[in-house]
Amino acid sequence: MSRTKKSPEVVAECHGVKVPASPFISEDRIKRINKGRYEHQEIAGALAVVRPEDRVLEMGAGLGVVGAVTAARTKPAAMMSFEANPNLLPHIETLYALNGLDHMIDLRHGVIQSDPDAPDAIQFHLRSNSFLGSSLLETEGRVTQAINVPTQRYEALRKSFAPTVLIMDIEGGELDFLRHADLSGLRAIVVEFHPLAYGREGMVECKDYLTQEGFEKVGDCSTRLVWTCVRQETLPKPVVHGGWTHRQETLTDAIVVPPTDKGFVQNAGVLHSDGRPCPEGALWRNGRILTEAPEIPEGEMAELPGRWLWGGVLWKHFGHFLVESTSRLWALEHLDAPIDGILFVPKRVRIGSEVMDYQRDFVALMGTKAPVVSLDQPTRVEELIVPGQGFGLGKLIFGTQLFRDAVASRFARDVAPEGPKRLYLSRSRFGSRTGNLLGEKALEAELVKSGYTIFHPQEHDLLTQIAHYKAADQIIAAEGSALHLLAFAARPEQHVAIVARRESPATRQLEKHLRSFSGVQPLTLIHLNRSWKPTGTARSRNWMGELDMPSLQAALAEEGFIKKTKRKWKPLDENDIKERLGEGYEIVT
């Protein structure tokens, strides 16, 4: 008499997939599965992006529920799933067989490694009381058993299996995977991040890798810790870790088109010889593109022979020039032949072909004698090298490694330190409509008593400014563009204090620029009684900050920028404030 094989006990159900009992499924997990809360973000993401024609690769099968639901509901053309924990494999196989999916999902034991130098086997840490948290990473405070698990090269899988969708939950291994993986061929990725394994910085790095490869998260099924992302056909946003910001492209018979209007976003930039846009030549700020692809100009165009480097948009504003117009000069360090010059287009149409002395000086300080040219008419260029944008406002303020290395290697190397040891960078000779500090003259008078020299950067050429910045040991600065130049030349041991004139993200940008490029850890001091602005609508850059002098004195003394003394700085006089402001200002509420 034959015996009928007993069917496994079904303890839960998820999106129509029956889940059999196993030692790894607790009562609490059963409840979560039945209520649709178990791995619901990953499941929602997979169901949103997987199509019948897709080839799905799952890294970290876990209980098998995510892969089973994906296969049952979307019916992809092929699906392969890897799990490192050998104890889970028989239970995953049971789940697949119970739901008739064992012929649809190719389940394998192993760890996928993208590092070309990965070993044939790798240590995996099993938790003794739960499959959750078993990981390639040994977690402090958890009792684990180390076993060796075979590895599978991702590059070989990419070529043989050709996945189009990747589902990844590998308990912290995703950072190392993304650092080495060639993601070409993938259309969509569902990934869970594990910041407890590698910190917030590691999670940001993971997201940057995905962004630089052209993936954009799907908002409806993405959270801080789980991203469902789809590759965009357009050029991805620039990031500092890699991608197109680190590359350069050489165009033959390129077409350079200057702007024709004064809008914030302008149609300007670089086209291929046949009129196709060259998106790598665009200017980005805070993840937004500021130069959209222009139309190919009609009629005859000026022609420029020779080999030229694309510089981008030439800003007249000192700060924007330093942060945005310099962003492609890293390529000077990587040229394989001489160039005839550096090409820009003007930000302001009325500026035309004008190039200011300080702009030429900065480029020369990068160690090149190449002329700087601003094109005010559409021009066909014989050969144009287009580097990626390696610096800018927003996340690009840290600069790519290539950009920072070029600055460290080339910028102002021959400028010798010359100037006082204590320096105050003043804005007191700027007009009130440019944004300023109320009480700055009083501050200057007190700082002179403490041995500081008052320095007005706008009244000196770049070489003099840089010589002073290199010579000083202590620098106090009114918040402003001069700090961007300081960041290019500062030493990590210098002490820098920023006296803010407003609460603004612009101050954070200055701090990040200083830290990333020079290693200086600036002290930001926001000691204001009130802020004033021009009546009506006004940008924060035009606000006037009213200094709280006694509080500012205490903060500077506490941090060692001035000596502690019983004599207190006098508060600002209300009548002096009104006289300084004049008519047309109101308190910022």
Walk me through the domains of the chain, giving residue ranges and CATH numbers. 10-231 (3.40.50.150), 245-410 (no CATH), 422-587 (3.40.50)
Q: What's the CA angle centered on 351, arms 348 and 355, to 5 degrees?
A: 115
| pLDDT for the residue 137 | 54
Q: Order of strands across the sheet with 215-217? A: 105-109, 78-83, 55-59, 165-168, 188-192, 226-231, 215-217
Supply 103's token pair: 């012929």
Supply 422's token pair: 């204590």
E strands of 211-315, at which residues? Answer: 215-217, 226-231, 248-257, 266-267, 269-271, 284-285, 288-289, 291-292, 302-314
Pairing verdict, β 284-285 and 291-292: unpaired
Q: For the chain, 589 residues long, give each residue's pLDDT as a single digit of tens.
A: 445 567 899 999 999 999 999 999 999 999 999 999 999 999 999 999 999 999 999 999 999 999 999 999 999 999 999 999 999 999 999 999 999 999 999 999 999 999 999 999 998 888 655 555 555 555 555 546 788 999 999 999 999 999 999 999 998 999 999 999 999 899 999 999 999 999 999 999 999 999 888 898 998 889 999 999 998 767 788 988 888 899 999 999 999 999 999 899 999 999 999 898 999 999 999 989 999 999 999 989 999 999 999 999 999 999 999 999 999 999 999 999 999 999 999 999 999 999 999 999 999 999 999 999 999 999 999 999 999 999 999 999 999 999 999 999 999 999 999 999 999 999 999 876 677 899 999 999 999 999 999 999 999 999 999 999 999 999 999 999 999 999 999 999 999 999 998 888 999 999 999 999 999 999 999 999 998 888 888 887 788 899 999 999 999 999 999 999 999 999 999 888 888 888 888 888 7
Tell me the backbone φ, ψ of residue 354, rounded to 5 degrees. -65, 135
Instruction: Note whether 33 and 65 are within 8 A (CB).
Output: yes
DSSP 329-380: GGGGGG-SS--SEEEEEESSGGGTT---HHHHHHHHHTT----EEE--S-EE
Amino acid at 374: S
| pLDDT for the residue 143 | 46
Q: What 3 state SS string does 529-586 have?
A: EEEEEECCCCCHHHCEEEECHHHHHHHHHHCCCCCCCCCCCCCCCHHHHHHHHCCCEE
Residue identified by tokens 């799933």 is: 81
Half-sphere exposure of residue 101, counting CA atoms within 13 Å on the CB side?
32
Cα–Cα dist 522/526, whole Å: 13
In 3D, which of 458, 494, 450, 463 has the Cα closest to residue 365? 463
| pLDDT for the residue 364 | 98
Continuous segment of H or E residues that includes residue 10: strand 10-14
Cα–Cα dist 543/128, whole Å: 60
Cα–Cα dist 545/341, whole Å: 43
Torsion of Cα atoms, 435 then 438 then 439 then 440, to 10°: 0
Q: Order of strands across the sheet with 453-455? A: 453-455, 422-425, 474-478, 495-499, 523-525
CA 174 to chain CA centroid, nearest Å: 19
Supply 34's token pair: 């039945």
Pairing verdict, β 341-346 and 372-374: parallel
Amino acid at 297: P
In 3D, which of 181, 169, 251 has the Cα closest to residue 210? 181
| pLDDT for the residue 235 | 76
For the purposes of burial, counting CB atoms within 10 Å of the CB of 253, is it exposed (0-12), middle (13-18) or buried (19 or more)? Answer: middle
Long-range Cβ contacts of 558-564 (<8 Å, 24+ apart): 559/495, 559/497, 559/523, 560/495, 561/450, 561/474, 561/476, 561/495, 561/497, 561/523, 562/447, 562/450, 563/450
| Local structure of 27: helix, strand or coil | helix
Cα–Cα dist 192/42, whole Å: 8
| pLDDT for the residue 580 | 81
Amino acid at 326: T
